[in-house]
Structure 1
Amino acid sequence: SARRREIEDKLKQEEETLSFIRDSLEKSDQLTKNMVSILSSFESRLMKLENSIIPVHKQTENLQRLQENVEKTLSCLDHVISYYHVASDTEKIIKEGPTGRLEEYLGSMAKIQKAVEYFQDNSPDSPELNKVKLLFERGKESLESEFRSLMTRHSKVVSPVLILDLISGDEDLEVQEDVALEHLPESVLQDVVRISLWLVEYGRNQDFMNVYYQIRSSQLDRSIKGLKEHFRKSSSSSGVPYSPAIPNKRKDTPTKKPIKRPGHKHDFRVKHLSEALNDKHGPLAGRD
């Protein structure tokens, strides 16, 4: 009897547990159904949103691509239009010439050259091509004239006194400073070099080398004639052809200093420039 009551109590507990589990399963099934319903509704709404967003996204991409194309087109148009303004923008500078503003002048010539290349490649029948060509030729002529003017104005005859001071002297004389021979002022030399390089590279004209040769050889010839005249006068008066700038204080057996080579920096640049040209004009620098 006691055993039976114990079994009945256990059975009752098991039934209660089974009932609790059954209720929990039913609630879980209900929650699952509710969750499935919610997810289905969310999926449906998401599909509707996707169907409405995708066309908008595609349209936005198309608009962005169109905007980029428009910006590139405007940039190209601005670049092309700038070539049509080159003639009017640089005409005044070209007419006034490069004197005193060589840097700005060469910058304008670079713009004109680019405009010439553009019209030759893209619009050879354009009247703008003739305008920029005329400006380019006028600018080249102005640079050639400036080269001649610089060489003419700043190339000077070397006095016989300075020549003798440079090539001779006594070892026992205490000279405070070396005598320097300046062929051209440094600023002028820089301008001459820049103009020469431009004429060789862009002007495709080497006639300026003849100008350099004529002017410098003329000054050299006059310097030599002046030295010859100085020798003649010195020989007739004292018989000793030395520079009056050097005191007449000599030993019985004079020893001459090594011959100096003044203006070496200038001659090296001219030689370097002549070597960049053809062999026909290369030796001209050596004649100076």
Structure 2
Amino acid sequence: MIPTEDATGRKREIEEKLKQVSILSSFESRLMALENSIIPVHKQTENLQRLQENVDRTLFCLDHVISYHHVAKDTDKIIKEGTVDLIRFLLHVFQKVRFEKGKEQLEVEFRALLTRYSKPVPPVLILDAIGGDEELEGEVTLEHLPEAVLQDVICIAGWLVEYGRNQDFMNVYFQIRSSQLDRSIKGLKEHFRKNSASSALLYSPAVQTKRKDTPTKKVPKRPGHVTLISPPPLNQSGYDHEPRGVKHLSDALTDKHGASAGKDDVMDVEIDSYIHCISAFVKLAQSEYALLTEIIPEHHQKKTFDSLIQGTAASTKNKLPTLITSMETTGAKALEEFADSIKVRADPVGGCDAEESKEKVLQRT
């Protein structure tokens, strides 16, 4: 049997533990009740916070909208007039700006192509073209622009005329081509100048082998030269013998004018060079006109070609007064020499023959 004191102690211990358990149970129940009452409040607080944020955002947006409240009054006129017309106008402006920019680029490309690929015609090629041999002239082609470049230039010029309504490119064309034509003629003159010291005229290599009678054949000497005033053989004029005075007179004239023969040869070379330059200019002008007809519209061809030719004639026009004066002086001097030669020919022994020679000379001149 358990002693009474021990039982009392254990009872007291059990009661204390039960009391603690009851306290814990009470605390747990109260804590649970508190939790059940706080959680809904917390959720409600979160909802209120979200609502507050939404209200703040709404107020901010309303403030932004209210700041545009006066726009209605400002745009009322535009709205009544309609925005479609404005949009069409803006599109038209944009297209026009793009069109003008494209047109400017085409003009720049047109000038660049002509400037880059336009070159002077070589003197040898010009001499081949004016050689006088029909077969050789048919083989010689003056190509001013490569075929691909020419097609591009024609295409650009056609567009500028049809859509661009612009004629400025024609001025660019005649300025560039006029400059090249002038350079070609100057190159030919320089070619003659460099080669005139070694020969009377330097023919083209191709022309030398294929032609015998060319435009560079020396022109007849002027009346002052002895070979022109010497009489023909008398057996051609119906006489059986040659008069005595004529042969001696021819020898005398040869001795007298022999000193001037070299000067006459130099002048003949200059005349040949001048004739070749004229022929070359005509040939180049024809070639330029053929090129121009492919690029420039028909109703502008004459004006552009005239401008192109006039561009090369400016320096020549300035020299015309001096040239006319020089020609007058040379003509007067030639007439004086011719008259002196006729007087020398007036020999009593061969008077009839001298008169006949005079008529021959007049017929030749």
State the TM-score, normalized to the length of structure 1: 0.47
Whose relative contact order is higher, 1 or 2, with alpha carbons under 8 Å and at least 6 apart? 2
State the TM-score, normalized to the length of structure 2: 0.38
Higher helix share: 2
